[in-house]
Amino acid sequence: GENVEQHPSTLSVQEGDSAVIKCTYSDSASNYFPWYKQELGKGPQLIIDIRSNVGEKKDQRIAVTLNKTAKHFSLHITETQPEDSAVYFCAARAGGSYIPTFGRGTSLIVHP
Amino acid sequence: GAGVSQSPSNKVTEKGKDVELRCDPISGHTALYWYRQSLGQGLEFLIYFQGNSAPDKSGLPSDRFSAERTGGSVSTLTIQRTQQEDSAVYLCASSLMSGQRYGYTFGSGTRLTVV
């Protein structure tokens, strides 16, 4: 089955800096890669996703890049703000499977 | 409703008791998932429902866990004879379709504490 590794487990940055979270996956058939943000006491919320037919996708201050050859994808947050502080999860889902495999999460702390 | 609703938000139970956790998905969403999130851990898949098809129960950790979905809408996750290791946040998610085109909407979860 699919295995998703996520790094780092904790990331601390100063407000205004950029943050990068990286994930690797094992199943070359995976073709859908969502990212979720989980704030304290809430469920994860989908913030951006990418499919295997594109290499990069941007939405304001967040972007996701995908390298299918190396089987890794990354979340980039620019100009971080304290409200970006949360746990971020990556996931990968293979074609034919309806159940994504999640990474273990990254706790992002943005210091004002 | 506007989002996925889960109840109760918190549940404390004694070891050995049975508990029922409820999930009310977004109206019209045909796919429903249950996940478990233990402290500092990722999201552990438990069970998946899609329309009237037989559920995918491959993630249920033991036969003490079961779930049903009535009328293709509300779902109940039941844990029998609870153990301390069952303590976790149980998350429900729904999506419009189970294919590749739609991401999940999660509820806020039920925090279960077994004492």
Gap from A21 CA to chain B (nearest CA, Å): 15
Chain A interface, mutation test: which of B43, B46, B98, B110, most A Cβ atoms within 10 Å?
B43
Cβ-based contacts of B106 with chain A (< 8 Å):
36, 43-45
Under DSSP, is residue B102 helix (H, G, I), strand (E, B) or coil? Answer: coil
> Contact A104/B41, CB-based, under 8 Å?
yes
d(CA B105, CA B96): 9
Structure confidence at residue B102 as a pLDDT band (50, 70, 90):
low
Given pLDDT bands bounded at 50, 70 and 90, which one contains residue B98?
A: low
Amino acid at B28: G
Per-residue pLDDT tens digits for B29-83: 889 999 999 877 789 999 999 888 899 999 999 999 999 998 879 999 999 999 9
Q: CB of B94 within 8 A of CB of B4? A: yes
Residue B99 has pLDDT above 70, yes or no: no
Contacts by A60-63 with C-beta closer than 8 Å and gap 24+?
none
Q: CB within 8 A of B26, min separation 6: which ones?
A: B1, B2, B3, B4, B94, B96, B105
CB A12 within 8 A of CB A61: no
Provide the 8-state DSSP code for B101.
T
Across the range B2-19, mean pLDDT stands at 96
A112 and B CB contact within 8 Å: no
The closest CB to that of A42, out of B31, B48, B108, belongs to B108
Residues 37-56 (B) with a CB less than 8 A from some CB of A: 41-43, 45, 48, 50, 56
Q: Which segments of chain A have a pLDDT < 70?
A: none
Structure confidence at residue B44 (pLDDT): 92
| Residue B98 Cα to chain centre, angstroms | 16
Nearest Cα of chain B lies from the Cα of A98 at a distance, in angstroms, of 6
Measure the CA–CA gap between B75 and B52, rounded to whole angstroms.
13
More confident residue, B7 or B96: B7
pLDDT of res. B55? 92
Burial zone of A76 (CB within 10 Å; 0-12 exposed, 13-18 middle, 19+ buried): middle
Q: How confident is the model at residue B96 (pLDDT cuts 50, 70, 90)?
A: confident
> What phi and psi, each to the nearest 5 degrees, are found at residue A4?
-120, 125
SS3 B86: helix
Contact B43 A34 (CB under 8 A): no
> Is the model's pLDDT at B100 over the cut of 60?
no
Determine the pLDDT at residue A105: 95
Distance CA B19, CA A2 (A): 31
Give the whole-angstrom CA distance, residue B33 versus residue B94. Answer: 6
Tokens read off for A92: 């990968």
Amino acid at A57: K
CA distance A105 to B44: 12
